[in-house]
Chains A and B, each alone.
Chain A
């Protein structure tokens, strides 16, 4: 990705990368969270992927040299992997070490000292693998520089000399790790004053007594462990947690988009069929997924077709399975007006709409289905300020009308501003439960400290 403005200097030289190959020539290598290795080829081919030119003579690759050099690199780094192994057969953590070896291998091809960018390297590693990685970094830093991006503050204090805190796309501060501590970092990351008006806090109502939905000991192997919760009438129940805490999975399970391994979701006396959206809808659960473009709306279909999709029985003409296009358009127009969707008409394709308007379509689809429970996964993601405000007042209004809302979000101010109560997940377990009444909202620091 290219920056719109600004520049990057390497050893005082101004560089502009538009392509990973250019970055590689300057020794910059990224170890991505989603792994950047090809699993169907051997380790040594991955290590020199894109740099084969160095090993080619007359168009043929000198395979033996490649293997030997790859073995050298791995041995120097103390990584115990045979370069001829098929990459896909290695465990996840080991593959990450191979990626680091790949970065170091740059110095064999170009006359550079590697600069290695690690993006959340520990999020998918076991404790043992993490220890191995950090141990390696201590030794390797003699010959390379590292940039570590992590939401785990303990990672940063274990490995880094300096830390840069980012908030809303801006650098808040840069300081030596020795001169700061976790609490201070929490405040740096969070910092901002909340704006009550933005989240319509003044009209936040008290949650009703009636339990609309409850989860009993819901677990999913490796992701969630014994989650129990009650969701009340008129309540906005926030779910906080870092990426990988299981909060999105919890939303999917409650909505029926994914099945739990054990435990149950109950509505009154009914147990929902695990992993059945159909049953969820029958019990009045709407689901606004985080991946709006692929799971929320169908971009190649019109607004009309999107809103009516789960509501075709309402526009039936009396013959089973036959629908009225006219009544579909009417239904759509009603919702376009009610949610103030900015679009020329019901026949407009959803992919031409802005994110905010697409999100309104997703809401409209469920409101037209008269759901009483809404599961929202990061409903403000990627929306501009105005669209967010629209969505927030809609959520607030729905709760005021008695709908029960489960709100999963990465955005803490949003979560705190909107929720009556917040459940914090850490590593798939509930680590805290924090009340958020209208005039005594919790501090972000309180929530963050339960997240990490």
Chain B
């Protein structure tokens, strides 16, 4: 028994998959005890609705963190593309507006990736700058106000349900998770992203065009953020200039808790799904059990530090900075 435990403890892959699942079970059990209403299908759908956009953003972040970079502009990009969608949906229709949102996202990703690879500025700084730039643009074009629109197809498409009574926004996020997991493990693109994060020099020696794939990772993340912007605007029924502000920190926490290493090369979208579930259940559970929002922030912070200290693989770091 002791041997199995110590084996479990030393196998990082196993540990970082099992711990989030364990956390999810413990959280569900606890909140259900405190408030029986927590454990209901209605509340399950609530959790899904509340976290679908977070899941999309976390997936976007995962693709960049996999290559060992980071994208801090994801949250503000969702806000901006959401505003763009709200502004264009009446004239271009849902399809046109979605293209605008996703296209703008991919373009920002292209710029992020281009700056990281061409100017060789660390992604942390490039995307920190981009965060500020995008927030500024958002406020400028929206004048700091919500953008309303007349189109009814978009809200119906996002909030309606095409199957099993599950809102489409949840379907979108789930399908994105499955697709990106397939991309990560069953395509050349996915393999290359893992290789870049695991060992950039070895990857370059294997003939991988390193810079091109780095840029692709950022573009993919940007496009996913654009889609998240479409969903968010549909869900809210308006483009709001503050909508994405909480997304960044929650998404990084979710990615890392899921077991995708910030150093790159380890993890994947399926892991991030678990990380998002932990955060979503924790947030919803505290809401349902009447924990006030200030206490919620403290608890969440403690859980994040605790979770990451248990799941990160220290053998990959020479120094902890």
Task: Spell out A's residues near B (CB within 8 Å).
Answer: 255, 257, 277-278, 280-282, 287, 289, 291, 294-301, 305, 308-310, 312, 321-323, 325, 351, 365
CB of B188 within 8 A of CB of A323, answer yes
Taking CB atoms and an 8 Å cut-off, the chain B residues in 167-225 that contact chain A are: 185-189, 191, 194-195, 197-199, 201-209
* Residue contact B198 to A301, C-beta cutoff 8 Å: yes
Identify the B interface with A (CB < 8 A): 185-189, 191, 194-195, 197-199, 201-209, 265-266, 315-316
Residues of A within 8 A of B206 (CB): 277, 281, 309-310, 365
CA distance A308 to B198 in the complex (A): 15
Min C-beta distance of B194 to chain A, whole Å: 6
Interface-centre pick from A282, A298, A312, A321 (highest chain B CB count, 10 A): A298
Sorted from nearest, which 9 A-B pairs have the closest CB atoms? A298-B198, A298-B199, A278-B207, A281-B207, A310-B206, A300-B198, A295-B201, A300-B265, A309-B206
For residue A277, which residues in chain B have a CB less than 8 angstroms away from its CB? 204-207
Beyond A321-B188, A323-B191, whether A297 also contacts B205 by CB under 8 A is no
Contact partners of B316 in chain A: CB under 8 A: 300
A308 / chain B contacts, CB cutoff of 8 Å: 191
Residues in chain B near residue A300, CB distance under 8 A: 197-199, 265-266, 316
Q: Which residues of B contact A287 (CB under 8 A)?
A: 205
Give every chain B residue within 8 A of A309 (Cβ-Cβ).
Answer: 191, 195, 203, 206, 208
The distance in angstroms between the C-alpha atoms of A112 and B42, with both chains bound, is 78
Q: Which of A257, A281, A287, A321 has the most CB of B within 10 A?
A: A321
Q: What are 18 A-B contacts defined by CB distance under 8 Å?
A: A277-B205, A278-B207, A281-B207, A294-B202, A295-B199, A298-B198, A300-B198, A300-B265, A300-B316, A301-B265, A308-B191, A309-B191, A309-B203, A309-B208, A322-B186, A322-B188, A323-B188, A323-B191
Alpha-carbon distance A310/B209, docked complex (angstroms): 11
Instruction: From known contacts A305-B195, A309-B195, A323-B186, infer whether A297 and B204 are also in contact, taking CB-CB under 8 Å.
Output: no
Closest to B313 in A: A300
A298, B195: Cβ atoms closer than 8 Å? yes
Q: Tell me whether A301 and B186 are in contact in the complex, defined as CB-CB below 8 angstroms, given that A277-B206, A280-B207 are known contacts.
A: no
Q: Is the interface of B mostly helix, strand, loop or mixed?
A: helix
Candidate in A257, A280, A300, A310 with the most chain B CB atoms within 10 angstroms: A300
Report if A310-B202 is in contact (Cβ < 8 Å); known contacts: A305-B195, A323-B191.
Answer: no
A298 cross-chain contacts in B, Cβ below 8 A: 195, 198-199, 202-203, 265
Q: Is there an interface contact between A257 and B194, defined as CB atoms closer than 8 Å?
A: no
| C-alpha spacing A297/B201, complex, angstroms | 9
**Contact A321–B195 (Cβ < 8 Å):** no
The distance in angstroms between the C-alpha atoms of A365 and B188, with both chains bound, is 16
Question: How far apart are A305's CB and chain B's nearest CB, in angstroms?
Answer: 7
Would you give the shortest CB distance from A289 to chain B, in whole angstroms?
6
Bound: A79/B201 CA distance, A: 40
Contacts of B185 in A (CB 8 A): 325
With A287-B205, A300-B266 already in contact, the answer to whether A312 and B188 are too (CB < 8 A) is yes
Q: What's the minimum C-beta distance from A335 to chain B, rounded to whole angstroms?
A: 15
Interface pair B209/A278, CB less than 8 Å apart: yes
- Which of B189, B197, B202, B209 has the most chain A CB within a 10 Å cutoff? B202
Which B-chain residue is minimally distant from A320 (CB atoms)? B188
Q: Which residues of A contact B197 (CB under 8 A)?
A: 300
Question: Closest CB of chain B to A227's CB: distance in Å?
Answer: 21
Most buried by A among B189, B194, B207: B207
Complex Cα spacing A255 to B202, Å? 13
Give the docked Cα–Cα distance between A338 and B199 (Å).
26
- CB neighbours (8 Å) of A365 from chain B are 206
Nearest-neighbour CB distance to chain A for B317, whole angstroms, equals 12
In the assembled complex, how far is the CB of residue B259 from the closest CB belonging to chain A, in whole angstroms?
12
Q: Please, which residues of chain A bring their CB within 8 A of the CB of B208?
A: 278, 309
Measured between alpha carbons, how far is A268 from B114 in the docked complex, in Å?
Answer: 36
Q: How far is the CA of A365 from the CA of B203 in the complex (A)?
A: 12
Q: Whole-angstrom distance from the CB of A381 to the nearest CB of chain B?
A: 16
**Which residues on B sit within 8 Å (CB–CB) of A312?**
188, 191
Q: A294-B199, A325-B186 are in contact. Are A301 and B207 (CB under 8 A)?
A: no
